[in-house]
């Protein structure tokens, strides 16, 4: 069976206030053409279909358009909700859409109920594990008080229990999670609670293929556990990433062959750094005149009208950062740079240490901070469901 694995469309997202709707439409047209050209048997979409719980109407229209085009091809599509989606909104009409071959899996309690696909060699049981927020689903999945690993393990226990009733069936799992060994970008929403967001790849042992979403880089965790990544770059940290999808051939006994397919990009993106006059004069930078740019200026003093001057040479500069070079002076790194890559818990603890002259939170204070962060996350998740 030939599967096309994609994820993290983030329909409705912009890039530094530049609309990406046309680029997303071009990608989805490319996806449909790939399904036709490569004779794909099923499409897997591993979450974050939309960029937010209440997406703009043009994004909803685009989603509707691609569903119709996939339906016309009569190729089954299995998709799950991610941490950016409203699971209840995305799952509206799932029963009716399933009759048309569009299988939405947004209810955590349905983890053990597969979409059963068939080919000449028998069944392929395809299980959809939507994003599982521990505080909201641990009781429903009987996962105790654990975090991400506990709830995913509980969901996979349901998968394995069902799979045990299907002798000879091959198996595929879609999941939206941060799996250990994956390389994160700056554009993924933080899902850390309790200091640990990642889960071990061994959680997915026993299935033939795990199609992952959440991390935006196309990457291989193990031969059978992979991220497709986002089809477009959603932050400048993704400038060097090669965007793509995985074409997975699942053999009659679960043999797996994976081929990476590149996707078209609307415009190159890059990060430049240096003093303003050097950037304006450097002939080597001519190749970036049509790129979306983040420019870090290292001038000791802030130049006059830097953005407008840069835009004369680089009309698509979108972000300007100041990081003055001060020889012999510590602490020249920008505040944004110091925070980059840190999770919410670490940021709050470092803030406490900063305002108290270096003394960080005690164990009891750390527990209060952690409880507050989890409470905020639960409130945000429940408010998105309620809206």
Domain ranges in the chain are 2-262, 269-332, 344-386
Percent of the chain with pLDDT over 90: 75
> If you average pLDDT over residues 143-150, what whole number do you get?
87
Asked whether residue 196 carries a pLDDT value surpassing 70, the answer given is no
CB 84 within 8 A of CB 59: no
Instruction: Retrieve residue 13's tokens.
Output: 């997202």
| Tens digits of residue pLDDT in 36-63 | 999 999 999 999 999 999 999 999 999 9
Asked whether residue 272 carries a pLDDT value surpassing 60, the answer given is yes
> If you average pLDDT over residues 215-220, what whole number do you get?
95
8-state DSSP, 41: S
Average pLDDT, the chain: 90
Question: Widest CA span of the chain, in angstroms?
Answer: 71
C-alpha distances (whole Å) from 367 to each of 341, 345, 346, 361 are: 22, 10, 13, 9
What was the pLDDT predicted at 362? 86
Instruction: Give the domain 269-332 fold.
Output: Barnase; Chain D (3.30.370)
Query: What is the second-level CATH architecture of the domain 2-262?
Result: 4-Layer Sandwich (3.60)
Confidence of residue 90 (pLDDT cuts 50, 70, 90): very high
Distance CA 99, CA 101 (A): 5
> If you average pLDDT over residues 193-219, what whole number do you get?
87
Residue 233: exposed, middle, or buried by beta-carbon count in 10 A (0-12, 13-18, 19+)? Answer: buried
Helices (H), the chain: 21-37, 57-73, 87-90, 94-99, 134-137, 148-163, 276-281, 306-313, 335-339, 344-355, 363-386
């Amino acid at each position: 069976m030939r599967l096309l694995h994609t994820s993290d469309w983030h329909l409705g997202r912009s890039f530094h206030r530049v609309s990406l709707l046309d680029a997303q439409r071009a990608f989805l047209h490319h996806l449909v053409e790939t399904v036709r050209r490569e004779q794909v048997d099923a499409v897997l979409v591993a979450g974050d279909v939309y960029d937010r719980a209440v997406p703009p109407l043009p994004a909803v229209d685009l989603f509707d358009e691609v569903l119709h085009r996939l339906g016309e091809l009569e190729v089954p599509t299995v998709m799950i909700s991610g941490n950016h989606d409203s699971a209840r909104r995305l799952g509206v009409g799932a029963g009716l859409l399933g009759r048309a071959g569009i299988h939405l899996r947004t209810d955590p309690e349905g983890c053990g109920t597969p979409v059963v696909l068939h080919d000449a060699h028998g069944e392929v049981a395809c299980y959809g594990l939507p994003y599982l927020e521990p505080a909201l689903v641990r009781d429903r999945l009987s996962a105790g008080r654990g975090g991400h690993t506990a709830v995913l393990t509980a969901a996979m226990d349901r998968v394995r229990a069902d799979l045990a009733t299907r002798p000879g069936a091959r198996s595929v799992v879609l999941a939206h999670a941060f799996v250990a060994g994956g390389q994160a970008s700056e554009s993924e929403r933080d899902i850390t609670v309790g200091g640990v967001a990642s889960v071990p790849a061994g959680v997915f042992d026993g299935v033939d293929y795990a199609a992952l979403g959440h991390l935006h880089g196309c990457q291989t965790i193990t031969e059978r556990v992979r991220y497709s990544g986002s089809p477009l770059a959603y932050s400048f940290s993704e400038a060097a990433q090669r965007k793509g999808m995985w074409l997975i051939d699942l053999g009659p006994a679960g043999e797996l062959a994976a081929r990476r397919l590149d996707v078209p990009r609307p415009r190159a993106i890059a990060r430049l750094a240096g003093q303003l006059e050097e950037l304006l004069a450097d002939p080597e930078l001519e190749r970036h005149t049509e790129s979306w740019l983040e420019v870090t200026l290292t001038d000791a003093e802030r130049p006059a009208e830097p953005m407008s001057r840069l835009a004369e040479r680089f009309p698509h500069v979108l972000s300007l950062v100041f990081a003055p070079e001060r020889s012999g002076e510590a602490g020249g790194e920008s505040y944004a740079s110091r925070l980059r890559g840190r999770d919410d818990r670490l940021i709050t603890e470092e803030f406490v240490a900063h305002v108290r002259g270096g003394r960080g939170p005690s164990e009891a204070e750390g527990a209060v901070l952690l409880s507050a962060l989890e409470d905020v996350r639960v409130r945000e998740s429940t408010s998105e469901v309620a809206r």
